[in-house]
Amino acid sequence: MNQITSNMTRANGSKHGWSLAGEYYKDPAIFQKEIDKIIFNTWIFAGHVSQIPNTGDYFLFNLLDESAIIVRTNDGSIAAYYNVCRHRGSHICKEDSGNAKRFLCPYHAWSYDLDGSLFAARGMPESFDKSDIKLHKCAIDFIDGMIFVNFNDNPTSLENAKRNLAPALQMYDFKNMKVAAHKNYPIAANWKITLENYQECYHCAPSHPEYALSHTLKVELDKFDVLQQPMLSRMETCGIKEYESYKHFDQQEDGQEQYAYSRYALFEKYKTGSQDGEQLAPLLGNIKGFDHGASDFSIGPLTYMLAYNDHVVVYVFTPTSQLTSACDIYWLVRSDAKEGVDYDIEKLTWLWHVTTLADERIIVDNQKGVNSKKYTPGPLADMEDSIESFITWYLSAIKE
């Protein structure tokens, strides 16, 4: 049963349909609970396998006090280790990415093989048994070439997400993609303000003139269904099937990570998320044309994928401290697409770069107001119903 309709009030006793109280954005004790129960207890997109094609290729995935080394090992598999030396704890890798035959700790020069085992530890006594010592493994899993990391030692399962999203993911063939661009946007606001802003499109018409020209999500709900019809009639000839959409936040099964899928129309002039409406990159996977639609996927509360027919934009929202957060955006294109020939980086990244800069501005202003002693919860609009789902889920997730 839907949590929202099954409870009269939320887990903290607050009324449905109102924004969160100010303490949830400012109280350090609440932030610590969020880290333990949500941030370090969820699967987060860390990158794509195409970023580390060769043995020894690695990159770091950093989140608050944790850092994971994601590496292609000697047997071709990909592993994740905590970036913590087993001697006295120094970070081992300091470069964001690179290639290593072995990992060498910069402090006292202990070295580790790519399988995490200790290879050498200089000047240690005879009695020291290095076979006992390995880098700590970090939970890692894969969905069609996308790498997910979880800082919980007993993470939730991604199996339901994989199984139920498989038909929709298959259309795009995420395995055969590559990262054409990655940008990090630091935002001076609590992570929930950043995430709440992404959840709703009530702000899109006034804040995103570029986005609002092409994406129908900015229209009121009663007009939205009418705009879907031309897309629905074109989908089949483009090789795109309709799949049941899964609701985020209010449909989390025990022991399973949450996930969601839905498809919506772009305005008629737009084939994809471009400035002029024209194609930006080669069609993905099995897609045969442009139905003028886009698909939204989510995995866990922090990772979102917006799949156009010719490219995918992945958004990852994370806290960097209680009052700061980051939005990491990855632009994925077909793996054989050539930069400068098949796609232009400036054109590919234009929409979500300008949109994210505008989002940063409104999110920071939101945090400034929430910091005031006069901030109190305000009523949510119908177009903000996903914020209600998020808040209701969030309050039960951090409950003791």
Which stretches of the chain bind ligand FES, using CB under 6 A? 85, 87-90, 105, 107-110
Q: What is the nearest approach in angstroms of Fe ion to the Cβ of residue 363?
A: 8
Residue 85 contact among ligand FES, Fe ion, none, beta carbon within 5 to 8 Å by kind: ligand FES
Instruction: Taking the CA atoms of 280, 284, 288 and 289 in sequence, report the sign of the dihedral they define.
Output: negative
Residue 399 contact among Fe ion, ligand FES, none, beta carbon within 5 to 8 Å by kind: none
Nearer to ligand FES, 80 or 84 (CB): 84
Binding site for Fe ion (CB under 5 A): 359
Pairwise CA distance, residues 351 & 278, whole Å? 13
Q: What is the nearest approach in angstroms of Fe ion to the Cβ of residue 395?
A: 24
Burial class (CB in 10 A: 0-12, 13-18, 19+), 87: middle
Nearer to ligand FES, 102 or 108 (CB): 108
Nearer to ligand FES, 88 or 399 (CB): 88
Tokens of 238: 């483009």
How many CA atoms lie within 13 Å of 249's alpha carbon, on the beta-carbon side?
Answer: 21
Nearer to ligand FES, 119 or 350 (CB): 119
Residue 371 contact among Fe ion, ligand FES, none, beta carbon within 5 to 8 Å by kind: none
CB-based closest residue to Fe ion: 359
Beta strand residue intervals within the chain, DSSP E: 44-48, 57-63, 66-72, 78-82, 97-99, 103-104, 111-112, 118-120, 139-143, 146-150, 177-187, 259-265, 293-299, 303-307, 312-321, 324-334
Q: What is the nearest approach in angstroms of Fe ion to the Cβ of residue 359?
A: 4
Residue 88 contact among ligand FES, Fe ion, none, beta carbon within 5 to 8 Å by kind: ligand FES
- CB 30 within 8 Å of CB 24: yes
CA dist list (Å): 290 to 60, 111, 179, 295: 36, 51, 22, 13
Q: What is the nearest approach in angstroms of ligand FES to the Cβ of residue 89?
A: 6
Nearer to Fe ion, 178 or 192 (CB): 192
- CB 356 within 8 Å of CB 362: no
Going by C-alpha positions, the residue among 42, 58, 153, 154 that lies closest to residue 104 is: 58
Residue 128 contact among Fe ion, ligand FES, none, beta carbon within 5 to 8 Å by kind: none
Residue 359 contact among ligand FES, Fe ion, none, beta carbon within 5 to 8 Å by kind: Fe ion
Nearer to Fe ion, 196 or 359 (CB): 359
Dihedral over alpha carbons 287, 277, 334, 198 (to 10 degrees): -100
**Tokens 């099964």 map to which residue?**
253
Q: What is the nearest approach in angstroms of ligand FES to the Cβ of residue 91?
A: 9
Q: What is the nearest approach in angstroms of ligand FES to the Cβ of residue 88?
A: 4
Nearer to ligand FES, 105 or 219 (CB): 105
Residue 343 contact among Fe ion, ligand FES, none, beta carbon within 5 to 8 Å by kind: none
Pairwise CA distance, residues 278 & 107, whole Å? 53
Nearer to ligand FES, 26 or 130 (CB): 130
- CB 358 within 8 Å of CB 206: no
β-pairing verdict for 293-299 and 146-150: unpaired
Pairwise CA distance, residues 345 & 350, whole Å? 8
Residue 110 contact among Fe ion, ligand FES, none, beta carbon within 5 to 8 Å by kind: ligand FES
**Residue type for position 244:** E
Q: What is the nearest approach in angstroms of Fe ion to the Cβ of residue 60?
A: 28
Paired residues of 142 in beta bridges: 147
Q: What is the nearest approach in angstroms of ligand FES to the Cβ of residue 70?
A: 20
Nearer to ligand FES, 103 or 172 (CB): 103
Q: What is the nearest approach in angstroms of Fe ion to the Cβ of residue 352?
A: 10
